[in-house]
Amino acid sequence: MAKSLLAGGVWKFYKALRSKNACKTCALGMGGQRGGMVNEQGSFPEVCKKSMQAMASDMQPPITADFWRQHSLSQLQEWTPRQLETSGRLIQPVLYTRGSSHFQTITWKDALDRITSKLKSLLPDQTFWYFSGRSSNEAAFLLHLLARLYGTNHVNNCSYYCHQASGVGLGKSLGTGTATVTLDDIDHCDLIFVIGGNPASNHPRLITSLTHLRRRGGKVIVINPVRELGMVRFRVPSDVRSMLFGSQVSDQYYQPHIGGDLALLTGVAKAVAEMGGVDQNFVQQCTSESQFYLQSLKDISWQELEDKSGISAEQMQEIAAIYCRSRAAIFSWTMGITHHVHGVESVEAIVNLALLRGMVGRPGAGLMPIRGHSNVQGIGSVGVTPKLKETIFENLQLRFGLSLPTTSGMDTMACMQSAYDGKSLAAICLGGNLYGSNPDATFAKQALSRLQLLVTLSTTLNTGHVHALADQTLILPVLPRDEEPQPTTQESMFNFVRLSDGGPARYPGPRSEIQVISQLGQFLVGDSSAICWQQMQQTDTIRRWISQVVPGYEAIESIGKTKQEFQIEGRTLHQPRFSTPTGKAKFHQHQIPKLLTLSDNQLRLMTVRSEGQFNTVVYEDEDLYRGQERRDLILMHPDDMRRMGLSADQPVTISSSVGQLSGYLARSYKDIRPGNALMYYPEANVLVPRSLDPQSKTPAFKCVLVTIVADRSVDPKTQVVRFPN
């Protein structure tokens, strides 16, 4: 109710939520042509606080020119992520030049002229182009096409910092990098694993499916170092019974140590094999490398698995017994799996478990990475990757007569390192908060501040705008998808493509992303026999290109006219046919990593999102489900508090190999395993090293060794911790 009042009234807010546009937040997906708060099964109302928060943000009052005159850069740098997000809608291009004390408003012409002039003065490979998953397929396709016609493959997206490990692991095992199930499959399974995630906070509508599963006699197993309240009991807003009495979400809850997932998953697989639970027909006919994998399970000892997971053999056997009784199981996971240096291996271990019992390649069973941004999967599908898939590359060249670069492109962290080294001199960011999403915040700030040009297309302010400052830093105000003048499309984590109608702009000034990109293309590379940038301002034209370039996306060509949303062909695996060289799914063996060894005053730290935030965007400081009213905290088990001699809300300094935070409050939190701790992302990124999974290049946000020392000179009643400078 409060959000609707701030957004202009209940009816106005409701109409916006019900408009025919895809939800702006998580990749579970809803909305589109069925109308807002409706999923692809027709279920209504699909109520989600995250969706409401995002809509309210886009309906907040605009930031006027007076704001920029009244607030200096140094003042804005003292603001928290929430204060920046709630300062208003961006409606004018603004510029910061090195040495200035304030941002200044400029015209669109001046902004585009500055960008074009700088890019023309640089070699294409001195630039990189970063994409957020909140954008549309059309804008993402157009911008990566522009980058390549300009001459560089340094094109990457936010998945490198979230689920890239899922795509790599699934691709190596199955030949597809996305979910093998649809939303409907969840209604036909009898067991779901939720591994390394907290959907109650980050994907709350998924809890509806979990509670329905339990009501029909199915089971939910949660594996997470933290016992999250919303994964134990939850009140589903669209369910009267649940709202009145609450719903139990999980049947069993297991808490390995941070970094212990791979050992736990291997232990469950070992137990399945020992119990005779392997589907021998499926394994022999539909998989490869099974004999080596099964032998590796025999060779590893239970003692090693216990030591490296923090879970007893009996608990792993208990999980296996439940799994062996299942007729149709779905494995889901989030960044608690992917945010490790062994993230790809952990994903492969999940696939191994599914393959052992033939839970891939049939209805009601399979694999479901729970992705974040609403279109993070879509932008990857349409080609936002450093290396284009061979089919996409050939289709662009042969069907449209384009000449594309063949040099190697850099992933996101490689681009950051290149900027730090002074090799990359300009960056174009389609949405997002590249600074805020990076590990090692000190490094990230230094890297981006060494650029000559940094451009971000945004709807609201974030920490990256005020902390990562190039010689010229430009913020271009763009329209959210429900204000786009033309229809756009988005792809959910279930491989379902929605059409968003757009709608009238709430404020004059912001432009469509597609208009900005096409104008930049006209100025930077110009028209040719292959491409007319004026025509590329039409989303129907862009979708025609996508339909002829991206396999599985053929139906997108006519979606603007037919309004027929569609499931992408070839990705849902309801038959045991796999797009691997052998046509079979592949088992993988792994060396199980040791847990981080702790000395006195040390803990294993994982960074987490709160219930009041979405990715780097903080809507509210309160974390409802964890019972926290502020964010400048380290949440520790009471045993660790006593071991370190810390009192409740004792100010502490937390340090890692790359940074430290002082004046944070140590708070007792019984739901975390002893030896482990939680802190809020992105503020805690200053502590996260740039340790990468070597296969996916994804940082290890979930496994950081930190030292905690009491800071007895700070009064917790007066201490106010801001975003680290």
Q: What is residue 641's predicted lDDT score, i.e. its pLDDT?
A: 98
- Residue numbers of the chain with a pLDDT score lower than 70: 1-7, 713-725
Q: What is residue 261's predicted lDDT score, i.e. its pLDDT?
A: 98
Tokens for 725, please give them.
């400078």
Give me the domains of the chain, ranges plus CATH numbers: 1-60 (no CATH), 65-161+375-564 (3.40.50.740), 164-369 (3.40.228.10), 602-710 (2.40.40.20)
pLDDT digits (tens, 9 = 90+) for 635-663: 999 999 999 999 999 999 999 999 999 99
Q: What is Dmax (Cα atoms) for the chain?
A: 72
Tokens for 124, please give them.
């294409």
Position 234, amino acid: F
Omega prior to 256 cis, within 30 of 0: no
Q: What is residue 241's predicted lDDT score, i.e. its pLDDT?
A: 81
Q: What is residue 242's predicted lDDT score, i.e. its pLDDT?
A: 74
Q: What is the CA radius of gyration of the chain?
A: 25
In contact, 89 and 506? CB cutoff 8 Å: yes
Position 127, amino acid: T
Q: What is residue 715's predicted lDDT score, i.e. its pLDDT?
A: 60
φ, ψ of residue 400 to 5 degrees: the values are -115, 0
What Å distances lie between residue 114 and 94, 455, 555, CA to CA? 12, 10, 38
Per residue, what are the HEC states of 141-157? Answer: HHHHHHHHHHCCCCEEE
**Where are the extended beta strands (E) located within 51-97?**
94-97
What Å distances lie between residue 288 and 98, 266, 292, 580, 583, CA to CA? 57, 18, 9, 10, 9
Sign of CA dihedral 479, 480, 482, 486: positive
Sheet holding 94-97, edge to edge: 104-105, 94-97, 472-477, 453-458, 426-430, 127-131, 155-157
